[in-house]
A and B are shown apart, each in its own frame.
Chain A
Amino acid sequence: MTNQQIIDWKIASLANNDNSELSEEMQRYLEQNSQLQEELLFIEQFWTSDVKPLVMPSDKLDANFYQMLSRAKTAQQHIPEQYDAQQETTQPLNDYRASSKVPSLSLMDKVKSWLTPMPIAQFATLTLVFVLGYNINKAPNSEINSEAYSVLQQDISSLTTVLAMSMLQKDSASERLSGVAYSRQTNLSNPVLVEQLIELLARDKSTSVRLAIINSLGELESFGLFEQQLLTMATMEENLLVQIELCRLLLNYGSVEIKNLLTEQSSQQQLKPEVQEFIKAQSMASYI
């Protein structure tokens, strides 16, 4: 049992509006981990609050963000020498952590006020402060630091996943496009998020959103159980642009069996002439 498994369960239950209870094993694990309890509470509050659309980071901002994380890691590795000197400067972070235990509304107010004016920088700061708040004043050694860094990365991924899933449910197509972009940042490591994307791909009215989803699915290591579903969508799809992109996705990243099935369907003229032409061109290109 890991923290990530419980976080994934929480995200899935929030996304599906499912009030099912934790398994006994998960419950026991959670009872022994107060930090995780607070983290779940935070995720729940983050989900239920009205999240405003956030700025998508430019490559430069993205790079700065990861530099910041890297600096955080380096700083933690030097904590033994600097620990005393840092006690004073980390006090505000400790205070912030303490304040998260008092009425949760004040924390959410802070989060909301941070999310509005300069969103992505503050999202990064929020994530950093949130995790450092838990980790910075623990007795440091290299093993714990490495673990803390890994937790830091997991937490960032979890928050981005929560944000992505929340945005994918918005009414505005532009916000759903943001949700797809956030999904890509998580490398689609959460299967619930992938399921939500594929469900949206099947029913979204906006071609732009559907094309963005198909493009993001190229990030998956493998399509696994979704592959057959994607093939069915590719053959039944009526929107030409979406059908072609689904075929491109499967031809480029699908298993050999799926590629053969798709090529077979194309040769039997079960697909639109334009799609048949596209598949033929792709097949010819792959021989070059």
Chain B
Amino acid sequence: MKKLSTTISLTLVAMLAGSFQLANAVEKSYSLPLSKPGEPVSIEIEVYRGSVTLVGYKGDTIEISAKSSVFSGEDKDLKKVKAPINNNNPARSNKGLKSVKSQSMRLEIEEKNNDVEISSESSKQHVDLVIKVPQRSSIEVQLHKGGDVNVDGISGSLELEAYGGMVIAKNISGPIVAETGRTDIVVSFSNFDKTSPSSLTSHMGNVDITLAKKVAANVNVQTYQGEIFSGLDKDFVVIDEIKKNKKGKKQKIVLGGIMQAKVNGGGQALSLTSYSGNLYIRKGK
């Protein structure tokens, strides 16, 4: 019975009537207790359109607050591939009738053995999620369109992708792997994890990091058309030159490419890459 209780999968498909209604918007909160309190937590979030804010706290419940509204705009990158079906029915009159806007929200939340999945995949819905999670949680977020991914005070590993908005992470220790298209990545490290490398890649946006004084890391930077601005005491040096001397008897020195600064004696790798954005490396407190 005990075994069974640990493997119970909690699946909630929330078709929720608005408990607090703004104009065309539905707001709902949900508290999800973990099935294994105190143990590692893994959270995977996929939102098609909207924003995601994650805040770490000292607790063992996932507190989800969701605000959804109907998306009535058009995706410029999507083309209509099929004409509407013509069923030959006569047009109905709506004279004297009021239009009733949809007040439902589709959000799926699933939990099994501390593995939590939250998803909103409807392209017709804009969802703003604010989620309180245990600080130790490992988090993966994919946000396809809309706003930003915001993370604050989480000490677990982070994997964040935002294709429409920014990735903003504060007070984290990584490891973090983040990627954006045309928007910025802004990360402030209060500490830096030694277990795995971290990497921040923005194709066309800027990457802006702040490192707390105690952070030790090998900071690697690479931008093709952007500029690099550093507030670190350590200078950046080209690392390819050193690497290629190792190639057996043949020596080949290649200049360019990645530059590195060993902060506080060096440590785990933290790579910052952009094609046309600038890279900013700031020294924090």
**Cross-chain contact A56 with B266 (CB below 8 angstroms):** no
Does B177 sit at the interface, judged by CB under 8 A?
A: yes
Chain A residues with CB under 8 A of B244: 218
* CB contact under 8 A between A55 and B194, given known A218-B243, A240-B275: yes
Interface band, chain B: 35 or more
B187 to chain A, nearest CB (A): 13
Does A208 lie within 8 Å of B177, measured CB to CB? Answer: yes
Q: Is the CB of A208 within 8 A of B201?
A: yes
Q: CB-CB < 8 A to A219: which residues of B?
A: 243, 246-247
Instruction: Output the nearest chain B residue to A180 by Cβ-Cβ distance.
Output: B197
Interface stretch (choices A10-18, A42-50, A103-111, A167-175): A167-175
Partner of B195, one of A53, A59, A211: A53
Contacting residue for A56 out of B199, B265, B269, CB 8 A:
B269
Q: 0/1 per residue, A265-288, Cβ < 8 Å to B?
A: 000000000100010000001000
Q: Is B138 an interface residue (CB 8 A)?
A: yes
- Residue-by-residue, is A204-216 near B (CB-CB < 8 Å gives 1, otherwise 0)? 0011110110010
Lowest 3 CB-CB distances: which A-B pairs, in order? A208-B199, A174-B175, A173-B177
Q: Which residue of A lies closest to B142 (CB)?
A: A205
Cα A95 to Cα B271 with chains together (Å): 44
Cα distance A97–B194 in the bound complex, in angstroms: 31
A53 to B193, CA, bound (A): 11
Q: Are A206 and B224 in contact (CB under 8 A)?
A: no
Inter-subunit contact A53/B201 (CB<8 Å): no
Shortest distance between the CB of B76 and any CB in chain A (Å): 19
Task: Kindly report which residue of chain B lies nearest to residue A285, judged by CB atoms.
Answer: B256
Interface residues of A (CB under 8 A from B): 53-56, 58-60, 119, 172-175, 177-178, 181, 206-209, 211-212, 215, 218-219, 221, 239-241, 244, 248, 252-253, 274, 278, 285
Closest B residue by C-beta to A177: B197
Q: Cβ of B267 < 8 Å from any Cβ of A?
A: yes
A241-B203, A241-B273 known; A175 vs B196 contact (CB < 8 Å): yes
Beta-carbon contact of A172 and B157 below 8 Å: yes
The contact of B224 among A56, A58, A181, A244, by CB within 8 Å, is: A244
Cβ of A221 and Cβ of B271 under 8 Å apart? no
Distance (Å) between the CB of B135 and the closest chain A CB? Answer: 17
CB-based contact B203/A60 at 8 Å? no
CA distance A207 to B256 in the complex (A): 20
Q: How far is the CB of B255 from chain A (nearest CB, A)?
A: 8
Which B residues are in CB contact (< 8 Å) with A174? 157, 159, 174-177, 196-198
Q: Is the interface of B mostly helix, strand, loop or mixed?
A: loop
Q: Quick one: CB contact mask for B88-104 with A, threshold 8 Å, 1 for yes?
A: 00000000000000000
Chain B residue nearest in CB terms to A282 = B256
**Contact yes or no, B179 A60, CB < 8 A:** no
Not counting A172-B140, A177-B196, A248-B257, a sample of 9 additional A-B residue pairs whose C-beta atoms are within 8 angstroms of each other reads A58-B265, A58-B267, A174-B176, A177-B198, A178-B197, A206-B179, A208-B273, A211-B271, A211-B273
Output the least CB separation between B39 and chain A (Å). Answer: 14
B171 within 8 A of A: no
Q: Which residues of A contact B224 (CB under 8 A)?
A: 244, 274, 278
Cβ A173 vs Cβ B159 within 8 A = yes
Give CA–CA (A206, B197) in the complex, Å. Answer: 14
Given contacts A174-B157, A221-B247, A248-B257, contact A59 B175 (CB under 8 A): no
Taking the complex as formed, is B238 at the interface, i.e. its CB lies under 8 A from any CB of chain A? Answer: no
Q: Any chain A CB within 8 A of the CB of B248? A: yes
Known: A173-B159, A241-B275. Contact between A252 and B254, CB under 8 A?
yes
What residues on B are CB-neighbors of A181 within 8 Å?
Answer: 197, 269
CB neighbours of B248 from chain A (8 A): 221
- A177 contact set on B, CB distance < 8 A: 175, 177, 196-199, 269
CB distance from B56 to the nearest CB of A (A): 17
B150 at the interface (CB under 8 A from A): no
Partner of A241, one of B175, B201, B267: B201
Which A residues touch B254, using CB under 8 A? 252
A-B contacts, 20 listed (Cβ < 8 Å): A55-B194, A56-B194, A56-B269, A58-B268, A59-B266, A60-B266, A119-B195, A173-B199, A177-B196, A177-B198, A177-B269, A181-B269, A208-B273, A211-B201, A212-B197, A212-B199, A212-B271, A219-B247, A240-B203, A241-B201
- CB contact list, B172-189 vs A, under 8 A: 174-177, 179
When the two chains form the complex, which single residue of A56, A221, A241 contacts B196, counting CB atoms closer than 8 Å? A56
User: Smallest Cβ distance from A207 to chain B, in angstroms?
Assistant: 5
A55 contacts across to B, CB distance below 8 A: 194-195, 268
* B258 interface residue (CB < 8 Å to A): yes
How far is it, in angstroms, between the C-alpha of A181 and the C-alpha of B140 when the chains are bound? 21
Chain A: CB-nearest residue to B224: A244
